[in-house]
Amino acid sequence: MLPEDPSSRSSAAMKQILEQTPAWLSGGGEHADVVLSSRVRLARNIAGFRFVGRADVQERRDVFNLVRKNLTKAGIVSEDLGSGGACWLDVSAIDQYERDALSERQCISRQHAKGHKTSANEGPDPRAVIVQTPSETVTIMVNEEDHLRLRAVRPGLMLREALEEINAVDDQVESVLEYAFSSRFGYLTACPTNVGTGVRVSVMMHLPALRVLGEIDRVKRAASDMSLALRGFWGEGSEADGDFYQLSNQTTLGKSEELILTELAGTIVPKVIEYERRAREKLMTQRREFTEDLIYRALGVLTHARRIAADEAMSKLSEVRLGVTLGLLNGPDVATVNRLLLMVQQAHLQHAVGRVLDPSERKAARATLLRQTLS
Protein backbone atom coordinates (compact mmCIF):
# COMPACT_ATOMS: atom_id res chain seq x y z
CA MET A 1 0.00 0.00 0.00
CA LEU A 2 1.28 3.47 -0.88
CA PRO A 3 2.07 5.88 1.96
CA GLU A 4 -0.15 8.88 2.53
CA ASP A 5 0.51 11.70 0.12
CA PRO A 6 2.01 14.51 2.27
CA SER A 7 0.84 18.06 1.75
CA SER A 8 4.43 19.12 1.09
CA ARG A 9 4.56 16.87 -1.99
CA SER A 10 1.30 18.22 -3.39
CA SER A 11 2.42 21.79 -2.68
CA ALA A 12 5.70 21.14 -4.50
CA ALA A 13 3.77 19.86 -7.49
CA MET A 14 1.50 22.91 -7.33
CA LYS A 15 4.50 25.24 -7.37
CA GLN A 16 5.75 23.51 -10.50
CA ILE A 17 2.34 23.78 -12.17
CA LEU A 18 1.87 27.46 -11.35
CA GLU A 19 5.18 28.38 -12.97
CA GLN A 20 3.82 27.27 -16.37
CA THR A 21 1.10 28.54 -18.69
CA PRO A 22 -1.37 25.82 -19.78
CA ALA A 23 -0.89 24.80 -23.40
CA TRP A 24 -4.54 25.54 -24.21
CA LEU A 25 -3.83 29.24 -23.70
CA SER A 26 -0.99 29.28 -26.24
CA GLY A 27 -3.07 30.93 -28.97
CA GLY A 28 -2.33 28.10 -31.40
CA GLY A 29 -4.51 25.59 -33.20
CA GLU A 30 -7.00 26.04 -36.03
CA HIS A 31 -9.35 29.06 -36.02
CA ALA A 32 -7.56 30.41 -32.93
CA ASP A 33 -8.89 33.92 -33.59
CA VAL A 34 -12.34 32.67 -32.52
CA VAL A 35 -11.75 29.31 -30.79
CA LEU A 36 -9.69 29.54 -27.62
CA SER A 37 -9.67 25.82 -26.86
CA SER A 38 -11.22 22.40 -27.51
CA ARG A 39 -12.04 19.99 -24.70
CA VAL A 40 -13.22 16.39 -24.47
CA ARG A 41 -14.22 14.96 -21.09
CA LEU A 42 -15.14 11.39 -20.17
CA ALA A 43 -17.19 10.45 -17.10
CA ARG A 44 -16.31 7.05 -15.62
CA ASN A 45 -17.11 5.10 -12.45
CA ILE A 46 -15.44 2.06 -10.93
CA ALA A 47 -17.40 -1.17 -10.68
CA GLY A 48 -18.31 -2.31 -7.17
CA PHE A 49 -18.49 1.17 -5.62
CA ARG A 50 -21.45 3.47 -5.11
CA PHE A 51 -21.47 6.79 -6.98
CA VAL A 52 -19.63 9.56 -5.17
CA GLY A 53 -22.79 11.39 -4.10
CA ARG A 54 -24.10 8.23 -2.38
CA ALA A 55 -20.82 6.89 -0.99
CA ASP A 56 -19.63 7.53 2.56
CA VAL A 57 -16.20 8.97 3.33
CA GLN A 58 -14.53 5.57 3.77
CA GLU A 59 -15.83 4.35 0.41
CA ARG A 60 -14.56 7.50 -1.30
CA ARG A 61 -11.22 6.97 0.44
CA ASP A 62 -11.12 3.39 -0.87
CA VAL A 63 -11.67 4.72 -4.41
CA PHE A 64 -8.98 7.37 -3.85
CA ASN A 65 -6.41 4.76 -2.75
CA LEU A 66 -7.38 2.22 -5.40
CA VAL A 67 -7.07 4.73 -8.24
CA ARG A 68 -3.72 6.05 -7.04
CA LYS A 69 -2.25 2.59 -6.49
CA ASN A 70 -3.31 1.19 -9.87
CA LEU A 71 -2.57 4.27 -11.97
CA THR A 72 0.89 4.60 -10.42
CA LYS A 73 1.58 0.90 -11.04
CA ALA A 74 0.48 1.34 -14.66
CA GLY A 75 2.81 4.33 -15.14
CA ILE A 76 -0.02 6.78 -15.72
CA VAL A 77 0.90 8.65 -12.55
CA SER A 78 4.56 9.53 -12.02
CA GLU A 79 6.09 9.60 -8.54
CA ASP A 80 8.97 11.73 -9.87
CA LEU A 81 7.93 15.39 -10.06
CA GLY A 82 10.81 16.19 -12.38
CA SER A 83 9.98 13.51 -14.93
CA GLY A 84 7.51 15.61 -16.90
CA GLY A 85 4.77 12.99 -16.52
CA ALA A 86 1.42 13.18 -14.77
CA CYS A 87 1.55 14.15 -11.09
CA TRP A 88 -0.92 13.20 -8.37
CA LEU A 89 -2.33 16.08 -6.34
CA ASP A 90 -4.23 15.41 -3.12
CA VAL A 91 -6.75 18.25 -3.43
CA SER A 92 -7.60 18.25 0.29
CA ALA A 93 -3.90 18.56 1.22
CA ILE A 94 -3.20 21.84 -0.57
CA ASP A 95 -4.10 25.39 0.43
CA GLN A 96 -7.44 26.92 -0.53
CA TYR A 97 -5.79 29.40 -2.92
CA GLU A 98 -4.01 26.47 -4.63
CA ARG A 99 -7.33 24.69 -5.07
CA ASP A 100 -8.78 27.90 -6.47
CA ALA A 101 -5.80 28.19 -8.83
CA LEU A 102 -6.44 24.68 -10.17
CA SER A 103 -10.06 25.69 -10.73
CA GLU A 104 -8.98 28.87 -12.54
CA ARG A 105 -6.74 26.75 -14.77
CA GLN A 106 -9.77 24.47 -15.35
CA CYS A 107 -7.85 21.44 -14.07
CA ILE A 108 -10.64 20.89 -11.54
CA SER A 109 -14.20 22.11 -11.23
CA ARG A 110 -15.37 24.58 -8.59
CA GLN A 111 -17.33 21.72 -7.06
CA HIS A 112 -14.16 19.64 -6.79
CA ALA A 113 -12.26 22.54 -5.22
CA LYS A 114 -14.97 22.87 -2.60
CA GLY A 115 -15.26 19.13 -1.91
CA HIS A 116 -17.94 17.12 -0.16
CA LYS A 117 -18.91 17.75 3.44
CA THR A 118 -17.28 15.58 6.10
CA SER A 119 -17.47 15.62 9.88
CA ALA A 120 -14.50 16.51 12.06
CA ASN A 121 -13.84 12.87 13.01
CA GLU A 122 -14.00 11.69 9.38
CA GLY A 123 -11.08 13.84 8.24
CA PRO A 124 -10.74 15.73 4.94
CA ASP A 125 -12.75 14.80 1.86
CA PRO A 126 -10.68 12.24 -0.12
CA ARG A 127 -10.32 13.68 -3.62
CA ALA A 128 -7.50 14.23 -6.08
CA VAL A 129 -6.53 15.40 -9.52
CA ILE A 130 -3.92 13.98 -11.87
CA VAL A 131 -2.27 16.66 -13.99
CA GLN A 132 -0.05 16.06 -17.00
CA THR A 133 2.92 18.41 -16.66
CA PRO A 134 3.98 20.81 -17.97
CA SER A 135 1.32 21.11 -20.70
CA GLU A 136 -1.79 20.32 -18.60
CA THR A 137 -3.21 18.78 -21.76
CA VAL A 138 -4.66 15.86 -19.77
CA THR A 139 -6.21 15.91 -16.30
CA ILE A 140 -8.14 13.31 -14.32
CA MET A 141 -10.36 14.32 -11.39
CA VAL A 142 -10.86 11.64 -8.74
CA ASN A 143 -14.06 11.65 -6.64
CA GLU A 144 -15.77 14.65 -8.18
CA GLU A 145 -19.35 13.92 -9.35
CA ASP A 146 -18.10 10.61 -10.78
CA HIS A 147 -15.21 8.50 -9.55
CA LEU A 148 -13.18 9.65 -12.54
CA ARG A 149 -13.50 12.63 -14.87
CA LEU A 150 -10.88 12.36 -17.64
CA ARG A 151 -10.25 15.49 -19.70
CA ALA A 152 -8.08 16.42 -22.66
CA VAL A 153 -7.86 20.03 -23.83
CA ARG A 154 -6.10 21.52 -26.86
CA PRO A 155 -5.68 25.09 -28.18
CA GLY A 156 -7.88 26.20 -31.08
CA LEU A 157 -10.29 23.88 -32.86
CA MET A 158 -8.68 20.48 -32.26
CA LEU A 159 -11.55 18.34 -31.00
CA ARG A 160 -10.55 15.19 -32.87
CA GLU A 161 -7.01 15.36 -31.51
CA ALA A 162 -8.36 15.88 -27.98
CA LEU A 163 -10.75 12.92 -28.38
CA GLU A 164 -7.99 10.63 -29.64
CA GLU A 165 -5.72 11.62 -26.77
CA ILE A 166 -8.29 11.11 -24.02
CA ASN A 167 -9.44 7.80 -25.53
CA ALA A 168 -5.85 6.55 -25.36
CA VAL A 169 -5.65 7.57 -21.69
CA ASP A 170 -9.05 5.99 -21.05
CA ASP A 171 -7.81 2.68 -22.50
CA GLN A 172 -4.79 2.81 -20.19
CA VAL A 173 -6.96 3.43 -17.14
CA GLU A 174 -9.45 0.72 -18.11
CA SER A 175 -6.59 -1.78 -18.39
CA VAL A 176 -6.04 -1.51 -14.61
CA LEU A 177 -9.50 -0.51 -13.31
CA GLU A 178 -12.89 -2.10 -14.05
CA TYR A 179 -15.48 0.45 -15.09
CA ALA A 180 -19.18 0.34 -14.20
CA PHE A 181 -20.70 -0.57 -17.57
CA SER A 182 -24.06 -1.80 -18.84
CA SER A 183 -24.47 -3.68 -22.11
CA ARG A 184 -27.79 -1.88 -22.50
CA PHE A 185 -26.96 1.66 -21.40
CA GLY A 186 -23.19 1.94 -21.78
CA TYR A 187 -21.00 3.64 -19.15
CA LEU A 188 -22.95 4.28 -15.96
CA THR A 189 -22.64 7.80 -14.55
CA ALA A 190 -23.97 9.82 -11.64
CA CYS A 191 -25.82 12.23 -13.94
CA PRO A 192 -28.28 10.58 -16.38
CA THR A 193 -27.31 13.00 -19.19
CA ASN A 194 -23.81 11.45 -19.24
CA VAL A 195 -24.96 7.81 -19.47
CA GLY A 196 -23.84 6.07 -22.67
CA THR A 197 -20.48 7.14 -23.97
CA GLY A 198 -19.99 9.46 -21.00
CA VAL A 199 -18.42 12.02 -23.31
CA ARG A 200 -18.79 15.79 -23.12
CA VAL A 201 -17.32 17.66 -26.11
CA SER A 202 -16.92 21.42 -25.87
CA VAL A 203 -15.19 24.42 -27.40
CA MET A 204 -14.35 27.73 -25.78
CA MET A 205 -15.20 30.50 -28.22
CA HIS A 206 -14.44 34.23 -28.19
CA LEU A 207 -17.49 36.04 -29.60
CA PRO A 208 -17.06 39.78 -28.91
CA ALA A 209 -18.36 41.04 -32.26
CA LEU A 210 -21.62 39.10 -31.99
CA ARG A 211 -22.13 40.57 -28.53
CA VAL A 212 -21.32 44.14 -29.65
CA LEU A 213 -23.78 43.88 -32.53
CA GLY A 214 -26.46 42.36 -30.32
CA GLU A 215 -26.48 39.07 -32.24
CA ILE A 216 -25.28 36.71 -29.51
CA ASP A 217 -28.88 35.64 -28.84
CA ARG A 218 -28.83 34.12 -32.32
CA VAL A 219 -26.17 31.68 -31.14
CA LYS A 220 -28.02 31.00 -27.88
CA ARG A 221 -31.25 30.16 -29.73
CA ALA A 222 -29.43 27.91 -32.19
CA ALA A 223 -27.70 26.09 -29.33
CA SER A 224 -30.99 25.57 -27.52
CA ASP A 225 -32.71 24.31 -30.68
CA MET A 226 -29.95 21.72 -31.15
CA SER A 227 -29.95 20.64 -27.47
CA LEU A 228 -26.52 22.13 -26.86
CA ALA A 229 -25.33 23.89 -23.74
CA LEU A 230 -23.91 27.42 -23.97
CA ARG A 231 -22.05 28.39 -20.80
CA GLY A 232 -19.60 31.01 -19.65
CA PHE A 233 -15.82 30.98 -19.22
CA TRP A 234 -15.98 28.94 -16.01
CA GLY A 235 -18.39 26.31 -17.29
CA GLU A 236 -21.69 25.25 -15.75
CA GLY A 237 -23.57 28.05 -14.00
CA SER A 238 -21.16 30.81 -15.04
CA GLU A 239 -21.66 33.96 -17.07
CA ALA A 240 -19.81 34.81 -20.29
CA ASP A 241 -16.97 36.83 -18.76
CA GLY A 242 -15.03 38.62 -21.49
CA ASP A 243 -17.37 37.34 -24.25
CA PHE A 244 -16.03 33.78 -23.87
CA TYR A 245 -18.58 31.00 -24.29
CA GLN A 246 -18.37 27.22 -23.90
CA LEU A 247 -20.49 25.34 -26.43
CA SER A 248 -21.00 21.64 -25.66
CA ASN A 249 -23.28 18.64 -26.08
CA GLN A 250 -25.81 17.98 -23.29
CA THR A 251 -26.70 14.30 -23.77
CA THR A 252 -24.71 11.20 -24.69
CA LEU A 253 -27.18 8.30 -24.53
CA GLY A 254 -27.89 6.85 -27.98
CA LYS A 255 -25.11 8.85 -29.66
CA SER A 256 -21.64 7.64 -30.57
CA GLU A 257 -18.54 9.70 -29.82
CA GLU A 258 -18.02 10.10 -33.57
CA LEU A 259 -21.55 11.44 -34.12
CA ILE A 260 -21.22 13.94 -31.25
CA LEU A 261 -17.84 15.07 -32.55
CA THR A 262 -19.04 15.38 -36.14
CA GLU A 263 -22.11 17.42 -35.19
CA LEU A 264 -20.13 19.89 -33.12
CA ALA A 265 -16.81 20.17 -34.95
CA GLY A 266 -18.08 19.53 -38.47
CA THR A 267 -21.26 21.58 -38.55
CA ILE A 268 -22.14 23.72 -35.54
CA VAL A 269 -18.81 25.28 -34.53
CA PRO A 270 -17.87 26.26 -38.12
CA LYS A 271 -21.20 28.08 -38.42
CA VAL A 272 -20.60 30.01 -35.20
CA ILE A 273 -17.08 30.87 -36.39
CA GLU A 274 -18.58 32.16 -39.62
CA TYR A 275 -21.16 34.26 -37.73
CA GLU A 276 -18.45 35.83 -35.57
CA ARG A 277 -16.13 36.58 -38.48
CA ARG A 278 -18.96 38.19 -40.43
CA ALA A 279 -19.78 40.31 -37.39
CA ARG A 280 -16.12 41.37 -37.11
CA GLU A 281 -16.09 42.29 -40.79
CA LYS A 282 -19.24 44.35 -40.27
CA LEU A 283 -17.59 46.20 -37.39
CA MET A 284 -14.62 47.04 -39.59
CA THR A 285 -16.59 48.14 -42.64
CA GLN A 286 -19.67 49.78 -41.13
CA ARG A 287 -18.61 50.79 -37.60
CA ARG A 288 -14.85 51.17 -37.82
CA GLU A 289 -14.55 54.37 -35.79
CA PHE A 290 -16.69 52.88 -33.02
CA THR A 291 -14.61 49.69 -33.08
CA GLU A 292 -11.28 51.49 -32.97
CA ASP A 293 -12.51 53.64 -30.08
CA LEU A 294 -13.70 50.55 -28.19
CA ILE A 295 -10.37 48.78 -28.59
CA TYR A 296 -8.07 51.74 -27.90
CA ARG A 297 -10.11 52.72 -24.85
CA ALA A 298 -9.76 49.16 -23.55
CA LEU A 299 -6.00 49.23 -24.08
CA GLY A 300 -5.81 52.64 -22.40
CA VAL A 301 -7.60 51.36 -19.30
CA LEU A 302 -5.39 48.28 -19.06
CA THR A 303 -2.15 50.25 -19.46
CA HIS A 304 -3.04 53.15 -17.15
CA ALA A 305 -5.55 52.04 -14.51
CA ARG A 306 -4.36 51.91 -10.90
CA ARG A 307 -7.24 49.74 -9.69
CA ILE A 308 -9.27 47.24 -11.67
CA ALA A 309 -11.71 44.45 -10.80
CA ALA A 310 -11.46 40.99 -12.35
CA ASP A 311 -14.66 41.27 -14.42
CA GLU A 312 -13.60 44.62 -15.89
CA ALA A 313 -10.13 43.24 -16.65
CA MET A 314 -11.69 40.27 -18.47
CA SER A 315 -13.95 42.60 -20.47
CA LYS A 316 -11.10 44.92 -21.50
CA LEU A 317 -8.77 42.02 -22.34
CA SER A 318 -11.54 40.61 -24.55
CA GLU A 319 -11.72 43.90 -26.46
CA VAL A 320 -7.93 44.08 -26.79
CA ARG A 321 -7.91 40.48 -28.07
CA LEU A 322 -10.47 41.52 -30.68
CA GLY A 323 -8.21 44.39 -31.71
CA VAL A 324 -5.23 42.06 -32.10
CA THR A 325 -7.17 39.56 -34.24
CA LEU A 326 -8.53 42.41 -36.41
CA GLY A 327 -5.00 43.73 -37.00
CA LEU A 328 -5.73 47.06 -35.31
CA LEU A 329 -3.06 46.50 -32.67
CA ASN A 330 0.53 45.44 -33.28
CA GLY A 331 0.82 44.13 -29.76
CA PRO A 332 0.35 42.38 -27.43
CA ASP A 333 0.07 39.00 -29.17
CA VAL A 334 -2.87 36.67 -28.62
CA ALA A 335 -0.84 34.33 -26.38
CA THR A 336 -0.06 37.20 -23.99
CA VAL A 337 -3.70 38.26 -23.81
CA ASN A 338 -4.77 34.65 -23.22
CA ARG A 339 -2.24 34.27 -20.42
CA LEU A 340 -3.46 37.47 -18.77
CA LEU A 341 -7.02 36.11 -18.73
CA LEU A 342 -5.66 33.59 -16.23
CA MET A 343 -3.18 35.80 -14.37
CA VAL A 344 -5.79 38.42 -13.38
CA GLN A 345 -7.83 35.82 -11.48
CA GLN A 346 -7.76 35.95 -7.69
CA ALA A 347 -5.68 32.87 -6.85
CA HIS A 348 -3.09 33.44 -9.59
CA LEU A 349 -2.79 37.08 -8.63
CA GLN A 350 -2.10 36.16 -5.02
CA HIS A 351 0.44 33.57 -6.12
CA ALA A 352 2.25 36.19 -8.22
CA VAL A 353 2.35 38.62 -5.29
CA GLY A 354 3.24 35.92 -2.79
CA ARG A 355 0.58 36.60 -0.17
CA VAL A 356 -3.15 36.72 0.48
CA LEU A 357 -4.72 40.01 -0.67
CA ASP A 358 -7.88 41.71 0.44
CA PRO A 359 -10.31 42.90 -2.31
CA SER A 360 -8.85 46.41 -2.46
CA GLU A 361 -5.28 45.10 -2.66
CA ARG A 362 -6.26 42.70 -5.42
CA LYS A 363 -7.60 45.52 -7.58
CA ALA A 364 -4.35 47.45 -7.19
CA ALA A 365 -2.14 44.38 -7.77
CA ARG A 366 -4.17 43.40 -10.84
CA ALA A 367 -3.77 46.87 -12.35
CA THR A 368 -0.01 46.79 -11.69
CA LEU A 369 0.31 43.37 -13.33
CA LEU A 370 -1.58 44.55 -16.42
CA ARG A 371 0.42 47.78 -16.74
CA GLN A 372 3.74 46.00 -16.39
CA THR A 373 2.83 43.29 -18.90
CA LEU A 374 1.16 45.44 -21.54
CA SER A 375 3.40 48.51 -21.36
Burial class (CB in 10 A: 0-12, 13-18, 19+), 340: buried
pLDDT digits (tens, 9 = 90+) for 303-335: 999 999 999 999 999 999 999 999 999 889 999
**Closest among 4, 314, 292, 283 to 128, alpha carbons compared:** 4
pTM of the model: 0.90
**Closest among 110, 112, 111, 84 to 13, alpha carbons compared:** 84
Burial class (CB in 10 A: 0-12, 13-18, 19+), 80: exposed
Residues of the chain with pLDDT > 90, as a percent, come to: 69
Burial class (CB in 10 A: 0-12, 13-18, 19+), 57: middle
CA distances from 110 to 51, 80, 178 (A): 19, 28, 27
pLDDT band at 243 (very low <50, low <70, confident <90, very high): very high
Question: Which CATH number is 7-259 given?
Answer: 3.30.590.10
Instruction: Assess whether pLDDT exceeds 70 at residue 82.
Output: no
- Select the more confidently predicted residue: 175 or 253: 175
- Domain layout of the chain by residue ranges: 7-259, 287-374
